[in-house]
A and B are shown apart, each in its own frame.
Chain A
Amino acid sequence: MAASQSLEGPGVRFFFEGESGRNTRGLLRLIILCTIAAAAVASRLFSVIRFESIIHEFDPWFNFRATKYLVEHGFYKFWDWFDDRTWHPLGRVTGGTLYPGLMVTSGVIYKVLRFLTFPVDIRNICVLLAPGFSGLTAFATYLLTSEMSDSPSAGLLAAIFMGISPGYISRSVAGSYDNEAIAIFLLVFTFYLWIKSVKEGSIMWAGLCALFYGYMVSAWGGYVFITNLLPLHAFVLTCMGRFSPRLYVSYTTWYALGTLASMQVPFVGFLPIRSSDHMSALGVFGLLQLVGFTEWVRTQLPSKQFQTLLRALVLIVFALAFGFLVLLTVSGTIAPWSGRFYSLWDTGYAKIHIPIIASVSEHQPTAWPAFFFDLNMLIWLFPAGVYMCFRHLKDEQVFIVIYAVLASYFAGVMVRLMLTLTPIVCVAAAMALSQILDTFLVASSPEDPETKANGSSKPNGNANIHEKIASAIPESLSSTKSAVVGIYTRLSKYVIVTACSIYLMIFVMHCTWVTSNAYSSPSVVLASRLPDGSQHIIDDYREAYYWLRQNTHPTAKVMSWWDYGYQIGGMADRPTLVDNNTWNNTHIATVGKAMSSREEVSYPIMKEHEVDYVLVVFGALLGYSGDDINKFLWMVRIAEGIWPDEVKERDYFTPRGEYRVDDEATPTMRNSLMYKMSYYNFDKLFPAGQAVDRVRGSRLPTEGPELSTLEEAFTSENWIIRIYKVKPLDNLGRSHQEAGLFEKGGKKKKASKRKGARVLRVE
């Protein structure tokens, strides 16, 4: 909007009317869209400018590693990739268990740029992919909104909202090389194509929709959202009596082609016809055939007979289909709903049954301030926009309503699904806001010819321009005008324009502030402020990972909690036991058990899995709260899920139910490997008895824990990462405790002082 405002001038009339006016508007729109895309990209570059061009967080490190593999070994090798450096010793059929869309996209971009002789580094492509695609998302949102609303400003508003709203930025800053980086663009664009095809009833648009749906399936697990939303849309339309050949053509085309396309992704495979999550799409497909058939029969039969036939048909088909579905589910042909899906309906489900899902912070229910934090003013424009849809409820508006309801519910259940809510919020809010602007700025007072003349009364005119004209004119004419009351007054226009501008300005400031402060930290590198206000970089993660890289054998297995698996794989290039692809709960529980048990129990587990090093994250020195002791209860819970007799969550709480690490910590807690590794030698940093844990805010026991089966190998500068080496079995066949005692000069108790019956040696 800023761009168009500066174009005011004496030649306004020439530029804004007639044929050349249309061209100008088209050009302006293009320029505005480009500017929006540029703004979207630019606002995501904070982290690159502040830190460096680095991959963020956890999952992106795997994607980055996979992309490098793809670029290095080619597509077919990537397709058949068996990764022997994760999930030791199980390995991971990586090629068949990932969504390759992201890697292939950046691989293609890399190859193209190389072909054009641009000497780019694959890392930079990966870092900048998400901002790049956010520009496209803004464009796709513009297209989608333009389909929804007649107002020409709605699309542009939606585009800029989408471009800078923090709910989307949170997953797409530079370096956040995750599936969502391209998936949101594909999501919005697929919806656009779907709306287009429903509107036109065209096989071409439906085919394109299926194509992009296939791309989306290859890029993100969230494709299930589309798989369920489109059938729901079709179903609701049918129920509303809006079944039409247009719907029939677009849905059947989309379903047939889209399902085939999605089945080409190895990770998805036969899921579309076997898993319950996809059954609604199949069901609606069948329903549409039936409805189509009934419509045809209706044209052939008298209405009386038709009624009877219809009733019988509906009953029989329903009974048959339901019975068939139950049968297939019971017999196991159709997989039951997945755990993540259940936790969508019952927020308590995961906590009880699948702690591994509940342990992920982004699977937690959303706190209500998060909506304001991520969407700011859009969140209260959003219901208004949805309401607007009810006013002229055409097929596409129904879609918006369904999408809005579903996405709001899901966003409330899971933090990460805020991402799917954001596009619809932007669209609906833009519709609402453009409606307000159009109403107040374009509408002319019916009795006042003067105003009418000024606001060139084209019913489908460009609201943007009207709004500019309206806001520009008053200057000269206000004195000559007679007072008009109500919304037609200049005053109300001023007020509305000012209010909207202020809101928009605040929105932009809020977005910038949130992006800069909350979402631009790579989390691999931490920033802190020194007393004098200068920035201090805490680089313990990379320090430790590079230590591993340079000082250990390339096949040394590193055990750590799964959060760090991808980073160890990506940065340290060492095999890990578990990582962020949490496909094997038992294996994770094994690591959890090793971490939460006594050394004597953990050691055989570590030996069995050939662990060479153990890595823990420890924040007590710095006050870094995301450390392993704070995650420890999840390890305990997950381990308890598999070994309820050996690991019990209750044992880690004091009798009064407190989770403590100080003198009052339970013996189970203090003997657990995780506790020992975290606090080993920590008390030596402080004067005797003064060791303080800054995260838990408690004073630690005077005597630090003793380790016998592990030895400290490395501790990073701020003690955030501690690495321990697993000792080999004792050469003389003693336990490590005995060996350690002997080395310290302690004497073994004489065996002669035995009581009871003599133990005889048998051979």
Chain B
Amino acid sequence: MRSLLLGLLLGLCSLVSALSAVGNKLLVIQEDESEKDNYSQFFKDLEARGFQISHRTPKDSSLSLFLHGVPAYSHLLLFPPKSKGLGPELTANVLVDFINQGSNVLLALSSDKSIPSAVSSLLLELDISLSPDRGSLVVDHFNYDTKSASDKHEVLLLPSPDSSRQDVKSYFGVQGLIAFPHSVGQVLGNASPFLASVLKAPATSYIYNPKDDSGDALEDPFATGTQINLVSAFQARNSARFTVFGSAEALQDTWFTASVQLPNGKSEKTSNQEFAKKVTGWTFKEQGVLKAGAIRHWLDEGAQKSTTDLTVLDVNPSIYRIKNDVHYSVELSEWQADHWAPFTPPAADNVQLEVSMLSPFHRLNLVPKQHTANATLYTSDFKLPDQHGIFNFYVEYRRPFLTNVEEKVTVTVRHFAHDEWPRSFAISGAWPWIGGIWVTIAGWVAFVALWLWCKPVEEKKVAGKR
């Protein structure tokens, strides 16, 4: 009880103080204290959204991501260090543990700085690959900022990303151009369903290593066009988020307020600040966080037919019978900045319920039936299949940029009990047989009566019959 109250209290605290759904402790790793000032606006924005920021250097001896075996911070922001290493507290294994325990990481990279080995091996585990050459950056001869990079074309100007899929909400749309100076392009693997691209480089861009002047490098660049990602997102199975931000400089104060100009366009202000807010907001779980609330299912027949009064109903029984009508409902909420709100999927999408044993017997669209203050009530009514076994009512909703909803309720579906079949006299096809039985009985009784009251004519014959 006490822990429950405490949890409630803590929940309330975080509710009022932070916009993140999971926690507000943010650890920022920056090697150089002085660099902090370059990002003052960025940090100010974060603090304004309720994050408690701790600044540490990778070499700090007291630095530890874990306290008593659990993550000490909910979020981690990694800026690229100057040196190759990140120290013993930030090895790839530690970072993987950190993610496995549900914490979120935003990794900023810069082509000016080296990429620590811990980071590159971690990215390989996530199926994100970077150019192996140090100092490689993304250039584009069509979408560069004429003001700051008229010569080298290494400051890319990109329009706002929009969702590539109809059934995915756009979480990163901004007004105006986003400037990406000295960015490190990432190439995403094809196999992992956990990866999603947030911001792609333009079709005319390619990865270029300024130090390598041989023609080969130009002929066969590491990656080109939209295969290059400037910002990519990874969401682990436990919904921990890991975002790679291709250009740390883009978060600096200077680029928050700079005005830029495309080669054939007019000068305009960057929307980097807005975009940074969106990306950190998503990574630190202010956006796209789903929660499944109460799951209820009950027998929807007999006395319980079309009632919704929970006091009367036998809610969540552990056993049903085959061919029972069942009502299933689940509450889904989406975190919106500081509160749980009813969740509605995009128009082209549906939340589905699977009734499965080894393979699905039903796959049903859940219907949003009712909106409460904090949740939408999704329901479905269905008839259990004519197959007994141990079934799962399984709601699995995995979409890019949304945390995974995976709710499994296991019920037993039994066979008909001996007294649940229709009685024989209720089946018209059985009447001839029932009639036959009674005729036989009557005939036998009549025969016995006859036998008893009639004197046998012949002694011999009786013995023979016997």
A residues neighboring B (CB under 8 Å): 76, 79-80, 82, 84, 88-91, 93, 96, 245, 249, 266, 296, 299, 555, 608-609, 729-734, 738, 742-743, 745, 747-748, 750-752, 759-763
Contact = CB atoms under 8 A, between A and B. Distances in A.
Given A91-B389, A555-B410, A729-B237, A751 B121 contact: no
A763 B227 CA distance: 10
Interface in B199-242: 222, 227, 234, 236-238, 240
A750 B127 CA distance: 10
Given A80-B417, A732-B96, A761-B187, A608 B125 contact: no
19 contacts: A80-B415, A84-B414, A89-B357, A245-B464, A249-B466, A608-B358, A609-B358, A731-B237, A731-B240, A732-B125, A733-B193, A733-B236, A742-B125, A748-B125, A751-B124, A752-B131, A752-B132, A760-B227, A761-B189
B100 A731 contact: yes
Contact of B96 (A608, A742, A763): A742
Contacts of B49: none
A93 B188 CA distance: 50
Interface of B: 92-93, 96, 99-100, 121, 124-127, 129, 131-132, 164-165, 187-190, 192-194, 197, 222, 227, 234, 236-238, 240, 319, 357-358, 388-391, 410, 412-415, 417-419, 464, 466
Nearest to A749: B124
Given A89-B390, A742-B96, A751-B129, A763 B194 contact: no
A524 B264 CA distance: 85
B385 to A, nearest CB: 13
A91 B390 contact: yes
Contacts of B190: 759-762
B466 A733 contact: no
Contacts of A84: 319, 390, 412, 414
Nearest to B466: A245
A399 to B, nearest CB: 23
A731 B238 contact: yes
A91 B413 CA distance: 9
A747 B190 CA distance: 20
B124 A91 contact: no
Contacts of B417: 79-80
A112 B164 CA distance: 75
A80 B124 contact: no
B392 to A, nearest CB: 8
Given A732-B237, A752-B129, A89 B415 contact: no
Contact of B389 (A90, A608, A761): A90
Contacts of B165: 763
Contact of B121 (A90, A747, A760): A747
Given A245-B466, A731-B238, A752-B129, A79 B124 contact: no
Nearest to A249: B466
Contacts of A750: 124, 129, 132
A93 B388 contact: yes
Given A733-B127, A752-B129, 17 more contacts: A79-B417, A80-B414, A80-B417, A82-B319, A82-B412, A88-B390, A89-B391, A90-B389, A249-B466, A729-B237, A731-B99, A731-B237, A732-B125, A742-B121, A761-B188, A763-B164, A763-B197
A439 B412 CA distance: 68
Nearest to A96: B415
Contacts of A745: 93
A10 B282 CA distance: 110
A80 B388 contact: no
Given A80-B418, A90-B389, A761-B190, A732 B236 contact: yes
A734 B193 CA distance: 11
A738 B192 CA distance: 13
Contacts of A743: 93
Contacts of A76: 418-419
Q: Sorted from nearest, which 8 A-B pairs have the closest CB atoms?
A: A82-B414, A80-B417, A84-B412, A89-B390, A748-B124, A751-B129, A731-B237, A731-B100
Nearest to A266: B418
Contacts of A93: 388, 414-415
A732 B414 contact: no
A759 to B, nearest CB: 6
A752 B164 contact: no
A91 B389 CA distance: 5
B388 A82 contact: yes
A738 B96 CA distance: 13
B163 to A, nearest CB: 11
A751 B358 contact: no
A729 B413 CA distance: 28
B326 to A, nearest CB: 17
Nearest to A746: B121
Contacts of A733: 127, 192-194, 236-237
B96 A89 contact: no
Contacts of B121: 742, 747-748
Nearest to A555: B410
Contacts of B188: 761
B126 A752 contact: no
B93 A730 contact: no
B415 to A, nearest CB: 5
A93 B390 CA distance: 12
Contacts of A747: 121, 124
Contacts of B96: 732, 742
Contacts of B197: 763
B18 to A, nearest CB: 25
A88 B412 CA distance: 11
B406 to A, nearest CB: 11
A174 to B, nearest CB: 34
B123 to A, nearest CB: 10
B404 to A, nearest CB: 11
A157 B388 CA distance: 52
Nearest to B132: A752
B237 to A, nearest CB: 5
Contacts of A299: 464
A731 B236 contact: yes
A249 B464 CA distance: 12
A89 B390 CA distance: 5
A84 B391 CA distance: 10
B129 A730 contact: no
A742 B240 CA distance: 19
A89 B237 contact: no
Highest count of chain A CB atoms <10 Å: which of B99, B234, B390: B390
Contacts of B127: 733
Contacts of A729: 237
A614 to B, nearest CB: 18
A79 to B, nearest CB: 6
Contacts of B227: 760-761
A555 B412 CA distance: 12
Given A91-B389, A608-B358, A731-B238, A82 B415 contact: yes
Nearest to B415: A93
A78 to B, nearest CB: 11
Contacts of B391: 89
Nearest to B357: A89
A277 B335 CA distance: 66
B420 to A, nearest CB: 8
B204 to A, nearest CB: 16
B216 to A, nearest CB: 14
A634 to B, nearest CB: 24
Contacts of B415: 80, 82, 93, 96
A761 B100 CA distance: 26
Nearest to B200: A763
A750 B238 CA distance: 26
